[in-house]
Each structure stands twice: as C-alpha cells, then as structure tokens.
Structure 1
Amino acid sequence: MPQLVRVDHVSLTVTDLEVSHRFYTDVLDFIQILDFGYGRIYLHNPSAFILALVAHPERAGGRFTELTTGLDHVGLAAGDLDDLHAWEERFRQLGVEFTPIREAEFGYHLNFRDPDGIALEFGVSKPDFEAAMELVKSGQLTKDQIQEYARQMLAALADG
C-alpha cells in the first residue's frame, strides 16, 4: 500500500486576508513566504508546518462553525504543558478567543479561534500516549498491533 508520511499543509478559506494575515503572523508567528493576491502561503519555524490562507473571490458564508459538514478543527502540537500555559497567557494578552486548558484522556488541549472563527487547538500528549505515537512512527507495528495497543490503552483508562 502507498504510504501517507505526513500532513503536507492546511489551506483555510478566510473572509479578510489582511485580518487573518495579522492573526497568523502576530499571534502564531507564521512567516509569509508567498503572496498570490487572493491567497498567501505561510511557514512556521521551526515546525515547518505550511499554512495557506485563501480569500476566494466567489466565497460564500460567514463565520466558521464546526457544525457544518467539513472541517471540525485543526490540531497543532505544543512543546509541553508549560508551553501550553504560555500560549494560553499569550491568547489572553492578545484578546484571542479561547477556552481554558482542559485535560482529556490522552493529553491536554487549548482550543481557540482565528478571526473567522475557525477552530484551532494546541495539544500536549500525556507520556503514555506520546510513547505510543513514537511506536507508531517507528513503522514497526502492524495494523493489528496498533489496534490491540489502542484497545489496551482505552481499557486502562476505563479502569482508571
């Protein structure tokens, strides 16, 4: 089977390219690398994550909602829990719409929105989940082994 090796980029449709540009460069520290007029390409250093922002001339609709079929949210990884708290404080200082950090089964999440209401999330995995993902990334596990490992992790959480 052909391999999917990583997410290459995410492209978001926005209502105001200038407002979105300021959010992604000033708040999240992306660097603009290309400008096509109706769209721009950004790179994040050092993650090498590529983001495209596009203001299609024929775009329709208003503020984003995850209740419409399509994108629910984009999940980004923070370095650690201290970084997650630093992001939360940065959002507070810059007036970014966010919900406080929440603990979940596999880690911690900080949900926030861009100027169009597009749902974004910073997350930090708990050590057990991070170790599991490193095993998966190694390419040494079969599909059955991954599914069994996931069942074991979920059972351990339920027994919690």
Structure 2
Amino acid sequence: MPFPALTHVAITVTDLEASTSWYSQLFGADPVLDEDEESGAFHHAVFALGGGTLFGIHTHTGSTATGSFDEKQTGLDHIAFAIERSELETWVSTLDRLGIAHSGVRDASYGSGISFRDPDNIALELFAPPA
C-alpha cells in the first residue's frame, strides 16, 4: 500500500491578522475557515489550495509565538508548492507585483524553483520538477 498524500500543512505565526492578509494575497483567495478551534486551544485560518491540500495558519491560546523561523533548527526546513515549469516566470512577476522578495528562478538537476519567505521568515518555495 502506498504512503498517503499530505492533506494539510499548519504553521504557527506571530501575527494572525498580518499573516492572513499576506497569504490571502499570495494565494489569491480568502481563507475557507477562520475560527477558534472548538477546544479553545488555538485559532486558525485555513486556505484551500489546488489538489485538495489545506494550508493553515495558527495562533495558540495562552502563548505567544516569538522569534523568527530558522530552517537550520530541528523541524521544518521549507514548504514547497507544486507548479509547472512554464509558470516560473509568471510567478516571478506575481511575487514582484506583491512586493515579496524572492530568489528568482533557480535551476538544479532535480527541478527549478523560486524561494521566498513569509512575514515570520518561514521558507517557502514554488517548485517545478524537471520536464
């Protein structure tokens, strides 16, 4: 039996309102869910992405996220979103229009991508596998 696909990714942010606005602009859509989780442990805003994947941003009740993301620490390194190779330059233009600093297109033997960071410095990538 093959291992199942990812259904969702959830990240903790320092400023839910600012991150919701930032991701809404990046994704070109508002969250499909923006609520306190029923146990009261956290608040989340959830975006529906292509392929049925959900992307959530969280704040946790009773604690405040501090510091800046660092992929050199144990845990998450980065999140990559699947695109087609033909979409790379369009995404460069979109990120430029949104004022999001990025790496430009980087090519490697395993594919091509554009790296950038969210307001909490979380590493993100638009990635196209090799043709």
TM superposition score category, shorter chain reference: 0.7 to 0.9
Name the SS for the 1:109 alignment partner: strand
Q: Does 1:77 align with 2:82?
A: yes
| TM-fit CA distance, 1:29 | 2.2
Q: Give the corresponding residue for 1:14.
A: 13
Higher alpha-carbon deviation: 30-39 or 50-59: 30-39
Quick check: which one's helix share is greater?
1
Q: Give the corresponding residue for 2:26.
A: 27
Deviations 1:7-53 (Å, cap 9, x if unpaired)? 11000000111111111111222441212232122112x43220111
Name the SS for the 1:70 alignment partner: coil
| TM-fit CA distance, 1:85 | 1.0
| TM-fit CA distance, 1:56 | 1.5
Quick check: which one's strand share is greater?
2
| TM-fit CA distance, 1:3 | 4.1
> Which gives a bigger RCO, structure 1 or 2 (Cα 8 Å, sep 6+)?
2
Name the SS for the 1:19 alignment partner: helix
Unaligned runs of 5+ in 1: 128-160
- What value does the CA root-mean-square deviation take over the aligned residues? 1.6
Give the aligned residue type for 1:47.
G
TM-score in terms of structure 1 length: 0.71
Q: Give the corresponding residue for 1:112.
A: 116
May I ask how many residue pairs the two structures share in their alignment?
Answer: 124
After superposing on structure 2, the runs of 4+ consecutive aligned residues of structure 1 that deviate more than 4 Å are none
| TM-fit CA distance, 1:116 | 0.9
Q: 2:45 aligns with which of 15, 36, 40?
A: 40
Give the aligned residue type for 1:11.
A
In 2, the alpha carbon distance for the partners of 1:123 and 1:12 equals 19
Identity of aligned residues (%): 31
In 2, the alpha carbon distance for the partners of 1:59 and 1:67 equals 22
In 1, the alpha carbon distance for the partners of 2:34 and 2:3 equals 28
Q: Give the corresponding residue for 1:5.
A: 4
| TM-fit CA distance, 1:90 | 0.9
Unaligned runs of 5+ in 2: 37-42
